[in-house]
Chain A
């Protein structure tokens, strides 16, 4: 049943994009540009940086709050893919064994810093990507990319991928269900059967692709995906982009956390 659950989950992310908030109404291009610059900024920090990365959580939190996206949904998906990031960084504390003092007398391996840095970057980038899709919808993102000048071939591949991933999953679901119904809990031959199911899916996919192509041809497809221009840059888009860019710029170039820390210490001393 796990498979079914995951399937409906993916669809849910898409349904969030039907909402009508400030973030949803922004031009996809504005969101794509700010999100990709956000990535660059986050990645550009040195590998031991932890404190300076934390303010960047403001951006996803902002998107989430204004876009009314449930926190748990994004959080769960981030956890789901987190093993990748964890395995990349898990050995850093052992391999990178230089010492660093964080409090008087308390020393840890530098590797821990780079490990946490990886985790934070991972959380920042993945949650922002998910939020981009949840507030823009995948087709919206594709449109934006096309309007930003990405070749039509790439964009159409991307939108086909998204369109047919659901069909493919449904097909897999049907085959797996049919198998479960007639296997009566016997799991001995699982592996061999799974391989055959994969082969079956592949053949069906090829045949389906052919039929899709014929449907495209019969509606006049001649090699270029046509698209309607739907979006116009509004004032809100410009304001959004400029303010996010300023935010990124300031937090990248000035150690805001340290300045803020010094200021608070100054107040209390």
Chain B
């Protein structure tokens, strides 16, 4: 299958306050690839993710997702293909109970009730949060919130999964579970993170972003062992590689 591609061609984006977040960026992610997006704070990682489902539109250039060019008409279709897990789970979980939150996406896709229930069950089961289903999000710990946020996106069974700092709120064990979970997800993944060990574990490919452009793009292992390149971009060698 070649249709789950993500292709950015000469994409630039400028925020209304004139900050240039993306400058003429181009890359192509093919089906089934898992790609880590790394870079310094403010390099444009989050802005890039927001382009994946058309929440932001490029000021110039084209974004091609699953053979659809991102535009006002195609946005809704593209949103069905791309699931994004945002950085702050409080903003991801907006419904009053966990169950309803996970059901939100599938219901919007127009599924019938039985199907929705099935999806919600399996998504919550996947992240190990089935017993939280009737709780309110404000009664959950941060780690639980993150897991539920992931479930809420998984329930839509997206073709492409994008995540912004997925492990930021997790304790080491939950983080490990998340890494294992991500490894089982077969479709394309785009993960923006400062957690380089996570990227090393999950991604085969890595793109380094600097000032809105691609500074380096290659196999994750090569990039994450290149000390010079990482330090130029305010990063460090992954901890697991520092010991050796």
Contacts and interface: CB of A to CB of B under 8 A. Distances in A.
Interface stretch (A59-67, A91-99, A178-186, A219-227): A219-227
Contacts of B139: 11, 14-15
A142 interface: yes
Which of A160, A219, A222: most chain B Cβ within 10 A? A219
A268 B156 CA distance: 73
Contacts of A14: 136, 139
B29 interface: no
Contacts of B153: 219
A257 interface: no
B91 A220 contact: no
Chain A's interface size range is 20 to 34
Contact of A138 (B83, B96, B103): B96
A215 B113 contact: no
Interface in A125-159: 137-139, 142, 159
Contacts of A167: 90, 138
Interface residues of B, number: 36
A215 B83 contact: no
Contacts of B97: 139
B100 A219 contact: no
A231 B210 CA distance: 53
A212 B100 CA distance: 16
Chain B contact residues, majority secondary structure: helix
A163 B94 contact: yes
A51 B91 CA distance: 51
B100 A227 contact: yes
Interface in B70-85: 76, 79-80, 82-84
A162 B86 contact: no
A216 interface: yes
> Shortest 10 CB-CB distances between A and B: which pairs?
A226-B107, A220-B108, A139-B96, A219-B105, A166-B138, A214-B55, A211-B91, A218-B53, A218-B84, A159-B96
A164 B94 CA distance: 8
Contact of A218 (B83, B100, B116): B83
B152 interface: yes
A187 B34 CA distance: 54
B13 interface: no
Contacts of A164: 94
A228 interface: yes
Contacts of A162: 96
Interface of A: 11, 14-15, 18, 137-139, 142, 159-160, 162-164, 166-167, 208, 211-212, 214-222, 226-229
B239 interface: no
Contacts of B90: 167
Contacts of A220: 76, 79-80, 105, 108-109, 156
Interface of B: 50, 53, 55, 76, 79-80, 82-84, 86, 88, 90-92, 94-97, 100, 103-105, 107-109, 113, 116-117, 134, 136-139, 152-153, 156
17 contacts: A11-B139, A18-B134, A142-B96, A160-B94, A163-B138, A164-B94, A215-B86, A217-B53, A218-B55, A219-B108, A220-B76, A220-B108, A226-B107, A227-B100, A228-B100, A228-B107, A229-B113
Given A218-B53, A220-B80, A227-B100, 10 more contacts: A18-B134, A211-B88, A215-B86, A215-B91, A218-B55, A219-B83, A219-B105, A219-B152, A220-B108, A222-B76
A139 B136 contact: yes
A211 B86 contact: yes
A71 B94 CA distance: 32
A137 B134 CA distance: 11
A218 B94 contact: no
B79 A218 contact: yes
A15 B80 CA distance: 35
Nearest to A14: B136
A163 B53 contact: no
Contacts of B86: 211, 214-215
B79 A163 contact: no
